[in-house]
Every structure is written in structure tokens, then in C-alpha cells.
Homo-oligomer: A and B are copies of this chain.
Amino acid sequence: MPYYIGDVIQEQSKLIARTPEKFREGGIEVQLQAHVSGINPAKGIVELQDNRQIPYDILVMATGTSAIVPDMPGLDLSGVFSLRNLEDAIHIKTWLKEKRAKHVVIIGGGFIGLEMSEALSASGITTTIIHKDPLPANRWDTALSSMMLEELHAHGVEFIANAAALAIEKGKNALLCVRTDKGDYEGDLVLLAIGVRPDARLAHSLGLKIGPSGAIAVNFSQQTSLENVYAAGDCCESFHRISRRWVNIPLGDIANKQGRVAGRNIGGQPLTFDGIVGAQSFRLFNLECAATGLSEKEALAVGYTPASNITWGSAMAPALGLRKIGLKLIADQSSGKLLGAQAVGVAGAVGRINALSVALWAGMDLDQIGYLDLAYAPPFSPAWDIIHNAAQALGRSL
């Protein structure tokens, strides 16, 4: 979403505005601005706020997430935004333009907050990030998120660590001011980016089973606890192949896969969605940041005995130059199987995490990963890739 802050957003809006028309051409009715007030599963009817009733044979829940909004004064001030959908992005862009915004305060240093700092920087707007922890992007090891912090500083982003936002007020030198326990930070816009939670309110009212993650429980066919109700996307759970638990990981690629699986099953071409391994990435200025599988903490919580290491290397043969990359591997001590991986680097981090995501999917152990046949050439890796070095080193330590 942050990537659409630029002019692209206009194109996206036009595209989306054309979508209902396209659907109608295909014989599909689209109701915009149609707020659902209730669902009657016994009668098979969706009730809208304007009292219209829409009958259904099969219902698909695709309610996504809602942004978590902190409890503090000043959230109702103009210029305070959260970012959940295209409409939010358009409002943010309009505000930035109308107010000729120069500086933005972002509350939350997770990957959405970080991506926004880059997107705003590309538009010539500086940012301050207020974050509750010492380092950004909690999913990554501190050694790797330290590299992210350096990258933020190198691009003029102010990062206020270990800080709690207390209130938002009108500003003196800018439109708004965020008061925190680490001082006051002014900006022309305040962005709340402290996370999202699955929007399962309608599912609750419908009596659908909700999983421990707070998202709608589904089976491998994306069917909910009601036979004729399916769910797909950020509002429902996925099966995590490494933790063997049902989890809620709200990411666009997972939502796409679930949507297609639900559609196939509803349309009579059965297909199962065989789960995820937790692959994820984002770009932070010149850094690729990627992770997959479980962290040590997550691995411990589901009963593994994890061991880990961090390996530093280059995503290029040393004779050609250095492209710094750090790779963390997490493996199970008893089986030697890979449980997770995290990488941050100026190049090659996403590609390596993808290769390791396939290794996770296939249940590979460190012995296999240490000698995997990868497409070596000096511009892309040393003859021993950091994947080989890391897996062999961790394997020796078990």
C-alpha cells in the first residue's frame, strides 16, 4: 500500500473504480457503499444498513483486517490517519498535498511504518518513527534490525526507540504534535501504524468458529464452520506448515491464494490450500529485508528445541566487491531440520529467503541445505553461498 502513495495511486483508483463495471459486464453484481448490518444464516440472507436484503446460497467472508488504534487523546484530530485500504491512502495523499506537508510522524516501527518512511521519503517528505522497542521490525533478530536502523539513519529518518505515544495535539511549528514519554515530535500528518487485527465482527455475529488467533477458522478448502460459508484473506487463518498450528498472517499473497482456493471449491473444482511457511519481505530504501518460518521464540512455543546462528557474508563473490548480507538460521536440535530464516542485505536477501522457504516447505534438514545445488556465478554469490556456510556452521554446532 505505501507504494501507491505516489502518482500510481491515481491509476489504482481509476482501475478500482472501473472494477464494478467490469464485474457487471461479466454478469456479477457489485454493491458499493453497502454496509452489512447482519446476516441470517437460517434464511441465507445478508442484511444491509439501508434495509435491503440480499439472499445467498454460498457466502464468502472477506472482511480483511482493521487497523489497531491506540487509546490516547487526539486521535480525532484532522491529519491523524491509519492505513488499511486504498481509501485511506487517497486521503493521506490528499492531506499531504493540500497541507504541503514537510514532515510526518509515524507511530509504529513495524514493516508498514518502515515502508511508509521510505514511500514518504521518495516524495520528499521526512519522517519520525515512534517505536515501542529498541529496534525496528521485531520479527528480525536484533543484529539484522540494527542494519535496518542504520539504513533509516542513512536516509534521514528519525527513529525514536523505546517510546510510548501518549497523546496527539495541535502543533506549533507543524500542524500536529505527538507527545511521547521520550519527548514531543511535531509533524504535518500523524500515521498510526501499530498493527492490524482480523476483522471477524460479522463472523462472530454469524456464529462462525473463530480460531485462537482471533481470525475466522477455516479448513484446507477455505470453508468455515458453516458448510455454505467460506472465508479468504486477512480475516481468516492459514495452516502454518512449520508450527503445525493455524495462524493469522495478513499478507496479500496469502489472501490471493486463499481467494483462488475458495473460488475453485465454490465453483466445483476442488483444491486445497496446503498452508504457508511464513515467508515475508519488504524493502527499506536500499535494503532487502526478508524472513520465513519461525523465530526461536515461536519455535520454543510450539515444542521445538531451537538452535540458531547468524552468518555475515556477501551476495557477490569477494573478487567483484562486497554486497553485505546477514543470514540467521533457526533449526531444530533433535532433528536438524530447518525451522526458520531471516536475511537482510543490499541484494539477494529475498532470493535466498525464497530458496529457504522452499526448503522449509519440503522439510529439509541442515545437512541437505549445506550442500544444495544453487545457481552460482560471481555477480550473485561466492562459490559457497551464505546459505551453505550458514547451514554447515549451524549443523556443526548442534
A320 within 8 A of B: yes
Residues of B within 8 A of A357 (CB): 355, 372-375
Tell me whether A160 is interfacial, beta carbon within 8 Å. no
| A229 lies within 8 A of chain B by Cβ | no
**A256-B384, A348-B351 given as contacts; is B3 within 8 A of A283 (CB)?**
no
How far in angstroms is the closest Cβ of chain B from A244? 15
Which of B4, B288, B372, B377 touches A282 (beta carbons < 8 Å)?
B377
**Residues in B whose Cβ lies below 8 Å from that of A70:** none
The 5 closest A-B pairs by CB, nearest first: A351-B351, A362-B362, A253-B376, A281-B375, A358-B358
CB nearest neighbor in B for A355: B354
CB proximity of A104 to chain B, nearest CB, Å: 20
Q: Which of A11, A251, A364, A380 has the most CB of B within 10 A?
A: A380
CB contacts (< 8 Å) of A339 on chain B: these are none
A317 contact set on B, CB distance < 8 A: 3
Distance A375 CA – B374 CA, assembled complex (angstroms): 18
Tell me, yes or no, whether A56 is within 8 Å of chain B by CB.
no
- Using a Cβ–Cβ cut-off of 8 Å, how many residues does chain A contribute to the interface with B? 59
Interface centre among A253, A280, A353, A375 (most CB of B within 10 A): A375
Chain A to chain B contacts (Cβ below 8 Å), 17 pairs:
A3-B319, A3-B379, A252-B383, A253-B383, A255-B383, A256-B383, A256-B384, A279-B374, A283-B380, A290-B375, A351-B351, A352-B354, A354-B355, A354-B375, A355-B357, A361-B368, A361-B372
Least CB distance, A12 to chain B, in whole angstroms: 6
Stoichiometry, as copies per complex, reads 2
CA of A371 to CA of B317 in the docked complex: distance in angstroms? 32
Q: How far is the CB of A239 from chain B (nearest CB, A)?
A: 11
Is there contact, CB below 8 Å, between B3 and A251? no
Residues of B within 8 A of A241 (CB): 373
Instruction: Check B352 against A319 for contact (C-beta < 8 Å).
Output: no
Q: How far is the CB of A339 from the nearest CB of chain B, in Å?
A: 14
| Contact A373 B12, beta carbon cutoff 8 Å | no
- Complex Cα distance, B362 from A364, in Å, reads 8
Does A191 have its Cβ within 8 Å of any Cβ on chain B?
no
Given contacts A3-B317, A253-B383, A350-B375, 12 further A-B contacts (CB under 8 A): A3-B320, A3-B379, A251-B376, A279-B373, A280-B377, A281-B377, A291-B375, A350-B380, A354-B355, A354-B374, A356-B358, A361-B368
Bound together, the chains give a CA A257 to CA B392 distance in angstroms of 12
- The residue among A281, A355, A374 with the most chain B CB atoms within 10 A of its own CB is A374
How many Å from the CB of A314 to the closest CB on chain B? Answer: 14
Asked if A149 lies at the interface with its beta carbon under 8 angstroms from chain B, I say: no
Chain B residues whose CB sits within 8 angstroms of the CB of A348 once the complex forms: 351
Contact of A354 among B277, B278, B351 (CB under 8 A): B351
The docked-state distance in angstroms from the alpha carbon of A380 to that of B373 is 23
Q: Is A8 an interface residue (CB 8 A)?
A: yes
Given A3-B320, A351-B354, A358-B372, A380-B288 contact (CB < 8 Å): yes
Minimum CB–CB distance for A118 against chain B, Å: 10
| Bound CA–CA A252/B383 (angstroms) | 6
Q: Which residues of A17-50 have CB atoms within 8 Å of chain B's CB atoms?
A: none
